Structure 1
Amino acid sequence: MSHRVTGGCLCGAVRFRAVLADRSLRVCACTQCLRQNSGPWFDLPSVQGIEWQGAVATYRSSPGHLRGFCATCGSTLYWHREGQSPALSHGALDDRDGFALTDFEHQDTRPDAYRVVAATEGVA
């Protein structure tokens, strides 16, 4: 069953509507996500389609990987590995409830203080 979601950036210059295959939530604690987001990155990896309104800028963070953000306020909106669907920022959603934490990537690089996040959900 697909799920429709809406969201946008902090300043409102970018809005989106998306269709998700499921309500899975992924966490990443790689060094790039920690630096960009000042903490773990929470995303929705099951995007089936997305429609953008507003100016979305991109940054090639490493070969084959793009990060999308608002060109006005800098809010992180998505992460994209070329050849795959983009993974939307959970924090950019209008309604963040009803998702289930299913994966915690790069646990080996997460700071000690974030261990409680995974332990609370039984993922680590």
Structure 2
Amino acid sequence: MSELTIEFVVRDRTGAVAAVVTSHGVIDAGFASEQIARGEALYYAGPDSYVRARVRSIPALGGPYLYANWDGTRRNNLHDLARGLKRIDVRSAARRETRSRIEWVSRLMGRAKAYLAA
């Protein structure tokens, strides 16, 4: 069983934890939840190297999510590790690609209409 320390958290556009960054690399949050549930890995997180809490996988309606609490409040402290980082938008790359295709096709059709009209 490996023990991994979470250094940063990457959130998606909704604010949910999308991935965790450890010293071993970037790990998808869903995969990390599965590892915790199967007992394959232990994840720890905290604001510094002295205060660390074990990360748990909690079941929810949208699927399991990662939860850590090192300050005694009820909120998920993993979101504190995402401060200062930009949120990623996974769907924006796909949207940009489809927009460029639509623009390309519309330009092509516009040229064809101009050619046929002449």
Which structure shows the higher helix fraction? 2
TM over 0.5: no
Q: Which has the higher contact order (CA 8 A, sep 6+)?
A: 1
TM-score by length of 2: 0.31
Q: Rg bigger for which structure?
A: 2
Which structure shows the higher strand fraction? 1
